[in-house]
Amino acid sequence: MTDESPLQAGNLDSLNERAKELRCLYQIEEIVERFDIPIADAFLKICTAVSPGFQFPESCFSSVVYEQDSYTPENLEPTPWFLSSDIVIQKDTVGRISVYYTEEFPTLDEGPFLREERRLLDSIAKRIGNHLFYRSLLDLKPADGAAGKGNEPSEDWRGPVNLIRHTDKRLFVRMSRKILNQLYWMGSPEAQELLDEEFGDIKGSLGEVNQAGSRVARKDSVLLSERPFEIASEYFSSREIIELVQRWAQESKAGFFVKLSHDQRTTLPELADGIRRFRHAFTDGSEIPLSILNGLRVSLVRRMLTEQLEFIKIAKEHVDVEDFQALIEHTIVPGNGQGRLGGKAVGLFIATKILAKHGDKNALIKNVKTPKTWYLASDGVSAFMWHNNLEDVMEQKYKPIEQVRQEYPHIVQLFKSSEFPASLVQGLTIALDDFGDTPLIVRSSSLLEDRLGTAFSGKYKSLFLANVGTREERLSELMNAIAEVYASTFSPDPIEYRKIRGLIDFKEEMAVLIQTVVGQRVGKYFFPAFAGVAFSNNEFRWSPRIERTDGLLRMVPGLGTRAVDRVGDDYPILVVPGKKELRANTSIDEVVAYSPRMIDVLNLETKKFETHEIRELLIEIDGQYPAVERVFSIREDEILRKPSRLLLDLEKDELVATFGALFRETTFVEEVGELLDVLASTLETPVDIEFAHDGLDLYLLQCRPQSFLREESPAAIPKDISPSRILFSADRFVSNGWLPEITHIVYVDPETYAKLPSREELLQVGRAVGTVNKLLPKRQFILMGPGRWGSRGDIKLGVNVTYSDISNTSMLIEIAKKTGSYVPDLSFGTHFFQDLVESAIRYLPLYPDDPGIHFNEPFFRNAKNLLPSVAPAFAHLQNVVKVIDVQSETNGKILSVLLNADLDEALGVLTDPSSDDDAPQQRQQVESAPEPPQPDLYWRWRLQMAERIAEEMDPALFGVRAFYVLGSTKNASAGPESDIDLVIHVEASPEKNKALELWLDGWSRCLAEINYLRTGYRQEHLLDVRLVTDDDIAKHTGIAGKIGAETDPAREIPLGRKSS
């Protein structure tokens, strides 16, 4: 089956020919898999099926000759233009198959026939041969039912045994030995004698302990005789002997396959052929020994799916050998393809098998489907690059990241303009025919992706294809998309990610999944009713009644892209499978404000992936949305109600995406919950799945271990930490995470807050927090305060803030401090819960009065308060709101918050900024939790650039007196997106100021471009420059106050000596 002469790429005629051949082969396959029809009928069917596989089917017929009988449809006479192939059973020629043309055609490779046609006929003949051999074995089988149990005269063991002796000597020898062994164990003296005869007297040679037994020449002649069976006939009935012979014959059939599947040189097509033969060997349902079967499964799993032991263990229990055949039949490989399927494909494949196994007895998941999928094996990308001489691109990953980023667009173009090897084109053509013209998604499935512990999610591309137009157009667009997915292996993001995780030297290969997009066509659009992701573990719980293992679903109307990613300006619907009635948003206003507004769809006319406003789309498609009454609710006054398709008035009704009726009236949430449970318990790890629903059926699109992104993996909680280093601890409602570098704490003192005398002052605390939120370094501070942050009710019970007042914090902590005998309830961030989720802000409740809990109140009480200097307008609240600079309070230490949901423990601990000693296990799980990109690179580079600017600047020309940096560049906290804050002390000269601003503008744009190349963050400007004059400094107005300030002062950079 090895394809040694790939066809000319793009030659669709010859592709059509190959497709014809394959169709023919498949038909033959179907016929030879049937043993229930008389042999004559089988031959005639084969004859009919063969002709269409040839170049001129109208002028073509074929015939089979077997044991002197000839089988030809309609008794056609042979012609001089024919092609013949012998039918061989176990080396004996038993017949032949011939194809005749009824008229003369130009001479080609072999008469009027093509080389490929010769191969086709040979392979058909081979299949007929196999078929006949199996038939002969089957004929040995005792008749069912009526046969009874006694020895029947017709059942003489001699017939079958002799057949084997004459056709397959090696098999016969093996069988003889087996039956002899059997008899020997049963204590048959005759068998003993025979064995002695075979090996001589072996007893004496086994006596010495320290010496190898002498080697004895075997006498096969003993085994080749009928004698072992003669002896056996005295111990077994004829029927029993026949059964034994059959079983061994079949076992021996597995032998070739064991060899094949273990041999790494076997190509995938050979393997497919092997599986097919293997299946034929066991079509009668007889049992293969479990050991052989398991060995086979494991070698197939390793071969195609994964080398990971824990995964192999699970896979071998759920995947049968036949499953691989179906898999290989839908796998496209390059000529000598060996390749694997990559993480995404494997996860889905295994999940499908798990569901198939559990589906029978589990009504909830019985009807879960998976979309039709074709796989492009991982070595396809190498074949593609080799075919186009792109090997040098392989080294791309070792280039500096700036260069990788700069060159990436060219690589994409290069790949897109390259050709695919013929073998891939052929495979894709077949796949495309199989799919028809339904929209497709091309997903990356790399070897690194989805490995346990490395979540590459979203790092590589997934592309939607409308898949409309002529066959040629569709093929070309499919190849274009695959080329782009291939190119994404060399995009800067995954390369940087791999560098960070020490995976850069891994030979990354990219398999590709081609799947039908789940959905319906409505007007010119194509989309599912809804789609989303679901997690076994819920890391964001909005109520103490929700447990971590209750799971979480994020879903949106239309394509699931908006639920998979955090889109920033829109919200998915959240629901907890274990507690579907407990919703994050309860009031009508909340439900409406946090409902999805936009929808992703495929436009089949423009062939584009598009985002629309749901409201507009509904009007455009005249409400013909799949399952509209389940996806949307109508808001009417203060009620949300289910729409009726009949009465829907799109002009008047306010439709809100709530999934109200879906949750209430169907078992959808339960189905997804069960799906998660079954997959997680079988795979022995929490999972993360993607799904889509077309309004009728639920489809599983992806399944992998729940992301072990660093920020979501459980942090190790050290036990031997000195209490003096602990600022707080918690042991209730803890989620996973690790906030390594907290430099500031904003602490609202629960006691002094409660004592504030006026409502106005209470409100001002919220404003103070909002102000500080804008001034502190983003995501490097935490907020701690009493009761319910953002409470809209009684202000005394929690600081009155909106989400925007806390948007830059990395964590929100609510302190439930006992007053009298009363412990207040906490809010769990409900008031802006979805905002917290979408911006990955952590939430933690603290119960300082619980036994065993640390809460270092003196630290918070006694620390120096920066509030008066940071936000002087709120200085009067300094007893209530404390802004603490952790480093200056603790001699340079920073706060590290370790969160571990598995243990339900959290710890806020002081550490040295550079040391990692509080995360010892983080290092052990290097794969799952790597070092973060070194943040110091960002600020250091920024500081260097600032120094450079100062150096290059001509003070006289621009009227510059002094040059300062401040903010994140000064505080060494800059991230990849940070700008460089500069304050420049200048003369009050509008002309010089203008010239300076112009000069700096150039710098700003250049630096922004360089920063983009380094980090991938696109900004127009990188500098944030403010000019101050003597006057400003004297008055300490605005930013000028930072010069020479007591806290967080601007840092002066020496000016260069350049002068014009």
Partner 1 sequence: MGAQGSFNPFEMARVQFDKVADLLDLDSGTRELLRSPLREYHFSIPVRMSDGNTKVFQGFRIQHNDARGPCKGGIRFHPQETVDTVRALSMWMTWKTAVVDIPLGGAKGGVICDPHSLTPQEQEAICRGYVDQIAKNIGPAIDIPAPDIMTNAQHMIWMLDEYEKILGSRFPGMITGKPVGLGGSLGRTQATGYGLVYTIREALRQLDIRPAGTRASVQGFGNVAQYAIELLERIGGKVVCVSCWDQQDSASYSFRKADGVVLDELRSITDRFGGIEKDKAKELGYEVLSGAAWLEQDVDILIPAALENQITGENVAKISTQVKVIAEGANGPTTPEADKVIHERGIFLVPDFLANAGGVTCSYFEQVQCNMNYFWEMDEVLGKLDLKMTSAFIAVSDLARKKKLYMRDAAYIIAIDRVAMACHQRGWV
* CA pair distance 875, 641, nearest whole angstrom: 50
DSSP assignment of 806-826, as one string? Answer: HTT-SEEEEE---BTTBPPP-
Least spacing, CB of residue 619 vs partner 1, in Å: 14
Does position 796 interact with partner 1 (CB under 8 A)? The reply is yes
If the CB atoms of residues 637 and 1020 are measured against partner 1, the closer one turns out to be 637
Please name the residue that has the structure tokens 């012998």: 86
Q: How far is the CB of 323 from partner 1 (least distance, A)?
A: 41
Nearer to partner 1, 285 or 757 (CB): 757
Measured between its terminal Cα atoms, the distance across the chain in Å is 78
Rule CB under 8 A: is residue 540 a binding residue for partner 1? no
> Which structure tokens are listed for 326?
């179906």
In the complex, minimum distance from the CB of residue 429 to partner 1, in angstroms, rounded to a whole number: 47
From candidates 106, 723, 757, 858, binder to partner 1 by CB under 8 A: 757
CB of 971 to partner 1, least distance (A): 22
Instruction: Name the minimum Å distance from CB 746 to partner 1.
Output: 16
According to the binding rule CB under 8 A, does residue 791 interact with partner 1? Answer: yes
Q: How many residues does the chain have?
A: 1060
Residue with tokens 């455009």: 620
Q: Number of H helices and number of E strands within the chain?
A: 38, 34
Burial of 228 (0-12, 13-18, 19+ CB in 10 A): buried
Q: Are 78 and 109 in contact (CB under 8 A)?
A: no
* Nearest residue (CB) to partner 1, 590 versus 927: 590
Which 3-state string (H, E, C) describes 976-1016?
CCCCEEEEEEECCCHHHHHHHHHHHHHHHHHHHHHHHHHHC
How far is residue 642's CA from residue 622's CA, in Å, rounded to a whole number? Answer: 18
Q: Closer to partner 1 at the Cβ: 107 or 587? A: 587
Q: Which stretch binds partner 1 (CB under 8 A): 181-189, 293-301, 356-364, 785-793?
A: 785-793
Residue closer to partner 1 (CB basis): 118 or 583: 583
Question: Quick check: 342 and 511 in contact, CB under 8 A?
Answer: yes
- Of residues 433 and 589, the one with the C-beta less far from partner 1: 589
Identify whether the C-beta of residue 595 lies closer than 8 Å to the C-beta of residue 555.
no
If one counts every other C-beta atom within 10 angstroms of the C-beta of residue 522, the result is 17
**DSSP E strand boundaries for 373-527:** 373-376, 440-446, 462-465, 510-516, 520-522, 525-527
Instruction: Check residue 95 for interaction with partner 1 (CB under 8 A).
Output: no
- In the shown chain, the binding pattern of residues 556 to 575 toward partner 1, with x for contact by CB under 8 A and - for none, equals -------------x------
Told to check if 542 binds partner 1 by CB under 8 A, we report: yes
Cβ-Cβ contacts under 8 Å for 729 (sequence gap 6 or more): 853, 854, 855, 905, 906, 907, 908
Residue among 356 and 588 whose Cβ is closer to partner 1? 588
To the nearest 10°, report the CA torsion of 501, 502, 507, 511. Answer: 0
CB of 527 to partner 1, least distance (A): 21
Which whole-number Å values give the CA distances from 563 to 473, 531, 533, 552, 598, in the listed order? 31, 8, 7, 12, 11
Task: Choose between 312 and 582: whose C-beta lies nearer to partner 1.
Answer: 582
Identity of the amino acid at 32? V
793 binds partner 1 (CB under 8 A): yes
Stretch that binds partner 1, among 479-487, 506-514, 695-703, 791-799 (CB under 8 A): 791-799
**Identity of the residue, 759 or 994, whose beta carbon is nearer to partner 1 in the bound complex:** 759
Residue number, 334 or 596, with CB nearest to partner 1: 596
Task: Dig out the tokens for 385 from the structure.
Answer: 């690059």
Query: Which region among 477-485, 799-807, 839-847, 938-946 touches partner 1 (by CB under 8 A)?
Result: 799-807
The binder of partner 1 chosen from 360, 760, 991, 1046 (CB under 8 A):
760
* Site for partner 1 contains 636 (CB under 8 A): yes
Q: Does 824 contact partner 1 by CB under 8 A?
A: yes
Q: Does 758 bind partner 1 (CB under 8 A)?
A: yes
CB 840 within 8 A of CB 707: no
**Contact string (CB under 8 A) for partner 1, positions 828-857, x = contact:** x-x---------------------------
Q: How far is the CB of 810 from partner 1 (least distance, A)?
A: 17
- Closest separation between CB of residue 813 and partner 1, Å? 18
Contact (CB, 8 A) for 905 and 717: yes
Task: Decide: is 471 part of the binding site for partner 1 (CB under 8 A).
Answer: no
- Candidate residues 57, 544, 920, 1038; the one interacting with partner 1 per rule CB under 8 A: 544
HEC letters along 217-282: CCCHHHHHCCHHHHHHHHHCCHHHHHHHHHHHHHHHHHHHHHHHHHCCCCCHHHHHHHHHHHHHHC
What CA–CA distance (Å, rounded) separates 205 from 209?
10
Shortest spacing between CB 822 and partner 1, in angstroms: 9
Q: Which helix (H) or strand (E) holds 425?
A: helix 422-435
User: Does 803 contact partner 1 by CB under 8 A?
Assistant: yes
* Binds partner 1 by CB under 8 A, chosen from 115, 313, 645, 792: 792
Minimum CB distance to partner 1 smaller for 218 or for 755: 755
Q: Identify which of 40, 55, 70 has the alpha carbon closest to the alpha carbon of residue 121.
A: 55
Q: How many CB atoms are closer than 10 A to CB 115?
A: 11
Does 754 help bind partner 1 (rule: CB under 8 A)? yes
- Binding window for partner 1 (CB under 8 A); candidates: 295-303, 308-316, 761-769, 775-783: 761-769
Site for partner 1 in 579-608 (CB under 8 A): 579, 581-584, 586-588, 592-595, 597
In this chain, which of 639, 646, 647, 1034 binds partner 1, going by CB under 8 A? Answer: 639
Given strand 744-748, what is the order of strands in its sheet?
A: 842-846, 811-815, 781-786, 744-748, 881-885
Determine if 804 is a binding residue for partner 1 (CB under 8 A): yes
Q: Is 1 in the site for partner 1 (CB under 8 A)?
A: no
Position 157 contacts partner 1 (CB under 8 A): no
Pick the binder of partner 1 from 48, 70, 666, 807 (CB under 8 A): 807
Tokens of 26: 């498949």
Counting contacts by CB under 8 A, is residue 759 touching partner 1? yes
Least distance in Å: CB of 800 to partner 1?
A: 10
Q: Binding of partner 1 at residue 414 (CB under 8 A)?
A: no
Task: Give the residue, chosen from 163, 763, 775, 1039, that forms a contact with partner 1 under the rule CB under 8 A.
Answer: 763
Nearer Cβ to partner 1 (441/591) = 591
DSSP conformation class of 113 = B
Question: Do the beta carbons of residue 375 and residue 333 sit within 8 Å?
Answer: no
Collapsing DSSP to helix, strand or coil, 346 comes out as: helix
The first and second tokens of residue 931, run together, are: 């070092």
Residue 647 beta carbon to partner 1: minimum distance, rounded to whole angstroms = 14
Q: Which is nearer to partner 1, 273 or 653 (CB)?
A: 653
Other residues' Cβ atoms within 10 Å of the Cβ of residue 734: 27
Question: Is residue 755 a contact point for partner 1 (CB under 8 A)?
Answer: yes
Q: How many residues bind partner 1 (CB under 8 A)?
A: 54
Q: Which is nearer to partner 1, 347 or 798 (CB)?
A: 798
Output the six-digit token pair for 887.
């480093």
Residue 788 is a binding residue for partner 1 (CB under 8 A) = yes
Judged by CB under 8 A, which stretch of 143-151, 294-302, 383-391, 797-805 contacts partner 1?
797-805
Instruction: Specify the residue, 774 or 861, whose C-beta has the smaller distance to partner 1.
Output: 774
* Residues that bind partner 1 in the complex, under the rule CB under 8 A: 542-545, 569, 579, 581-584, 586-588, 592-595, 597, 636-639, 754-763, 770, 773-774, 787-788, 791-794, 796-798, 802-805, 807, 824-825, 827-828, 830
